[in-house]
A and B are shown apart, each in its own frame.
Chain A
Amino acid sequence: MARTLINLPKSAKPGDTITIKTLISHPMETGFRPGADGRILPRNIVTHFVCRFEDEEIFRVELFPASAANPYLTFTWIATRSGRFSFTWRGDGGFDQTESAAITVA
């Protein structure tokens, strides 16, 4: 499991614009670089990121080589109601990780 950091406010008022920040530890190996033995290292990047709020997709990203290691993604959301966010990173070699966080809107 890769280490992730997810930052968002625990609570918000309806109509507030909140900022969600995500960081995941990942080498983001481009597939173009030689390793210590001179051979090209296989590509190993996060290719997709999706954020859902209570099963509704609110943010989606496709990533390509040339993204820096430990990709940092931040986006905003207008608070509507309380619920849970789920964050899913998918990538090469079957990389698949989901984390979640809750928010109270009142």
Chain B
Amino acid sequence: MAFLGLLLSGALAGAEPISPTERRSGFDQMSSEIQAMQRDDGANPGMLAVADGEDLWTKAPPSGRPACAGCHGAASSTMRGVATRYPAWDAQTQKPIDLQTRVNTCRREYQGVEPLAYESPDLLALTAFIAAQSRGLPMTPPDDPRLDPTRAEGRTLFEARQGQLGLSCAICHDDHWGRHLGAAVIPQGHPTGYPLYRLEWQGLGSLQRRLRNCLTGMRAEPFGYGAPEYIALELYLATRAAPLPLETPAVRP
């Protein structure tokens, strides 16, 4: 009955986006133990991947071309703030791309090596290392009009009912955040900590993996990794989350 109530109220209320002053990271809704785990670099298991990413950053690829550090230098200065601006417009492909695609483009174009597979440990580690340089900085999605159509598409996707349950992202994350779905507290769904360590996964995962989880939970068919729908959603979510601070590598239950 409670579930039917959720469906009905979602249908009646309609999705009202969360106002900037009300925006809160999922971090605030976690237990104090998991919050402590995220805060402490000695206990945060995501830092294992960040350390792996640091190695990859400085290691030259087998092609003999420069390592990431060869062009970009010390990530702590050159990569600071970069992750807060993604997904961003890619002039070459004339499309918005996320940070993982950016890493892979760099690999192909400048390092002459194969792109890394989505959700592969190396790509997650490199992305986590780059994003970790922006920890604490506010999300600042670029104010680029070329991104607007994709952002609008993302919002449509976020608010569209999908799957056998007829739910939309907005019904849970705009209308019912802070309430419970089963035993779990519904967060506002801000992508401020990706790639993040999820205790349920016992490993690091990207935002696309999380979106696939949600779609499966709604009994909708998840899009394939790298699908343009995810980029659109990521772009809308980044705008929706600004100006919350970036937390990578975050820990979530």
Residues of A within 8 A of B (CB): 3, 5, 7, 21, 23-25, 27-28, 68-70, 72, 74
Interchain residue pairs with CB less than 8 A apart (8):
A5-B41, A23-B43, A23-B45, A23-B47, A25-B45, A68-B202, A72-B43, A74-B42
* A69 touching B51, Cβ below 8 Å: no
Across the interface, name the chain B residue whose C-beta is closest to A2.
B48
Across the interface, name the chain B residue whose C-beta is closest to A4.
B48
| The residue from A5, A21, A27, A74 contacting B51, defined by CB atoms under 8 A apart | A5
| The residue from A3, A21, A24 contacting B52, defined by CB atoms under 8 A apart | A3
**In the complex, what distance in Å separates the CA atom of A5 from the CA atom of B43?**
9
Which residues of chain A are within 8 angstroms of B40 by Cβ–Cβ distance?
21
* A70 touching B42, Cβ below 8 Å: no
Known: A68-B199, A69-B202, A70-B202. A3 touches B42 (CB 8 A): no
Across the interface, name the chain A residue whose C-beta is closest to B51.
A3
Which residues of chain B are within 8 angstroms of A74 by Cβ–Cβ distance?
42-43
Interface status of B217 (Cβ within 8 A of chain A): no
**In the complex, what distance in Å separates the CA atom of A25 from the CA atom of B249?**
15
Interface status of B203 (Cβ within 8 A of chain A): yes
Which residues of chain A are within 8 angstroms of B51 by Cβ–Cβ distance?
3, 5
Which 4 residue pairs are nearest across A and B when measured between Cβ atoms?
A7-B42, A69-B202, A21-B42, A70-B45
Interface string of B191-208 (1 = CB under 8 A from A): 000000001001100000
A99 to chain B, nearest CB (A): 13
Which residues of chain A are within 8 angstroms of B48 by Cβ–Cβ distance?
3, 5, 23-25, 70
- Cβ < 8 Å to A, chain B residues 27-62: 40-43, 45, 47-48, 51-52
**In the complex, what distance in Å separates the CA atom of A24 from the CA atom of B47?**
10
Which residues of chain B are within 8 angstroms of A70 by Cβ–Cβ distance?
45, 48, 202
**In the complex, what distance in Å separates the CA atom of A5 from the CA atom of B45?**
9
Across the interface, name the chain A residue whose C-beta is closest to B199.
A68
**In the complex, what distance in Å separates the CA atom of A3 from the CA atom of B41?**
14
- Cβ < 8 Å to A, chain B residues 104-148: none
Which residues of chain A are within 8 angstroms of B43 by Cβ–Cβ distance?
21, 23, 72, 74
**In the complex, what distance in Å separates the CA atom of A7 from the CA atom of B47?**
12
